[in-house]
Amino acid sequence: ALQDKVWSMAVPLYLPQDSTASNAAAQIVEHTYRLEFLFGGLEPLQVAMVRQTRLEAQALELVLQARTNQGEEPLLSRCEKFLQEVEDFQRCLHAELGRLQGGFVERLLEAMPRLACCKPAEMICILHTHLQHTTFVPMQLPPQVRQARATILEPTGESDNPLRFTAGLVLALDVDAKLENVPEPHRTVRVQVVYPDGQAQIIHPRPGDFRNPREGQHRLITQVYMSHAAWTEPCHIELSLMLAFSADSGRVGVGPAPSCLSPSPAAWLESADPGPPPPANPVEGTVPLCRPVRVYVMPKPTRR
């Protein structure tokens, strides 16, 4: 998206390319989160390069949004969030700035006094100028890098026998999964259930649901309680395991932890059993640890 410069076209020529460039920028942001939080053994310089790439993609998203939306109000909150990302980068990875000389982040930090007090339209112009001088910098991964992953053993998703339950009541689904290279999974692992209407439920398993049979491996044996009042027809749900992270106030993933990104307790999300109260630092997002498994569910009609 950056190399093709489609975002530099005149607006009438650019509009047909809108979805392509926007989707490319969104995918880059998603991949940088996966690189940072799913891979352990990264050095601080590599974390800085990943975050610099994310800032470039987020800046590109702002430029694309400004070219298709009118008015400054929709951009104001996104501009403020972008500036916060830049400040977090400087605070957390200050020691690595000298090794990123001439890069996108260095130019942003030089322009911060102006960016902090300008209007969104002027900020977009500054970002547009810096993006025009951005080039892709390849990153070499160290040999000790290890990827966090999960394998769902049960349910398999291959059964033709549907699970039956009465709409509006609770259905317990047994889950058995193997985790690799996920430190402290009781803090970071979530179970996600996506219902046919697109609604997603995030469940934080209890600490006692995790086993540690050998170093680097864990086993999750738990039950997921599902309930949905809107079901009337047989359909599939999608079940997957996610890794929670917090990029602003604490690092919950498996990658390296600089001083300001040291591990901190993640928020306890919705769970079948009551857990401890949520801490001050909430979970910012999740990245998938495995592909989702489809489970066939057939609701029974509600008794009248």
Query: CB–CB of 171/225 below 8 Å?
Result: yes
- pLDDT at res. 68: 73
- pLDDT at res. 74: 72
| Integer Rg of the chain from CA | 22
Given the structure tokens 């601080």, which residue do they identify? Answer: 44
- Higher-confidence residue of 264 and 49: namely 49
Domain boundary among the residues 102, 133, 164 is at 133
Judgement on whether residues 200 and 81 belong to the same structural domain of the protein: no
Judgement on whether residues 152 and 123 belong to the same structural domain of the protein: no
Q: What is the mean pLDDT of residues 271-300?
A: 69
Percent of the chain with pLDDT over 70: 77
Domain boundary among the residues 98, 133, 168 is at 133
Q: Is the pLDDT of residue 257 over 90?
A: no
- Does some domain include residue 138? no
Number of domains present in the structure of the chain: 2
Query: CB–CB of 280/222 below 8 Å?
Result: no
- pLDDT at res. 229: 66
Judgement on whether residues 63 and 159 belong to the same structural domain of the protein: no
Domain boundary among the residues 75, 98, 133 is at 133
Q: Is the pLDDT of residue 179 over 90?
A: yes
Q: Is the pLDDT of residue 193 over 80?
A: yes
Give, in degrees to the nearest 5, the angle at Cα 270 between 269 and 276: 65
Sign, CA torsion 205/207/209/215: positive
Assigned token pair, 185: 């999974």
- Higher-confidence residue of 161 and 38: namely 38
- Higher-confidence residue of 67 and 293: namely 293
Percent of the chain with pLDDT over 90: 30
CA-to-CA distance for 50 and 145, rounded, in angstroms?
14
| C-alpha separations of 203 from 155, 210, 273 in Å | 16, 14, 10
Ranking 21-25, 100-104, 281-285 by mean pLDDT, the lowest is: 281-285
Query: CB–CB of 51/89 below 8 Å?
Result: yes
pLDDT digits (tens, 9 = 90+) for 147-166: 999 999 999 887 777 888 77
Judgement on whether residues 121 and 153 belong to the same structural domain of the protein: no
The reply to whether the predicted model has a pTM over 0.85 is: no
| C-alpha separations of 137 from 21, 50, 98, 133 in Å | 19, 10, 16, 12
- Does some domain include residue 270? no
Mean pLDDT highest for which of 91-95, 132-136, 156-160, 226-230? 91-95
Ranking 69-83, 118-132, 237-251, 259-273 by mean pLDDT, the lowest is: 259-273
- Does some domain include residue 273? no
Closest CA relative to residue 150, chosen from 201, 202, 188, 200: 188
Closest CA relative to residue 295, chosen from 228, 237, 234, 240: 237
Judgement on whether residues 95 and 13 belong to the same structural domain of the protein: yes
Judgement on whether residues 128 and 57 belong to the same structural domain of the protein: yes
- Does some domain include residue 122? yes
In CATH, what number is assigned to the domain containing residue 195? 2.60.40.10
How many Å from the N-terminal Cα to the C-terminal Cα in the chain?
56
pLDDT digits (tens, 9 = 90+) for 197-235: 888 999 999 999 999 888 889 999 999 988 766 677 788
Query: Residue 46 — φ and ψ, nearest 5°?
Result: -70, -35
Judgement on whether residues 129 and 154 belong to the same structural domain of the protein: no
What domain range includes position 47? 5-133
- Does some domain include residue 140? no
| C-alpha separations of 30 from 60, 74, 174, 239 in Å | 14, 22, 30, 20
CA-to-CA distance for 36 and 45, rounded, in angstroms?
12
- Does some domain include residue 161? yes
Ranking 66-80, 237-251, 276-290 by mean pLDDT, the lowest is: 276-290
Judgement on whether residues 153 and 129 belong to the same structural domain of the protein: no
Assigned token pair, 145: 């890098």
pLDDT digits (tens, 9 = 90+) for 260-282: 543 333 332 333 344 444 444 45
Q: Is the pLDDT of residue 81 over 60?
A: yes
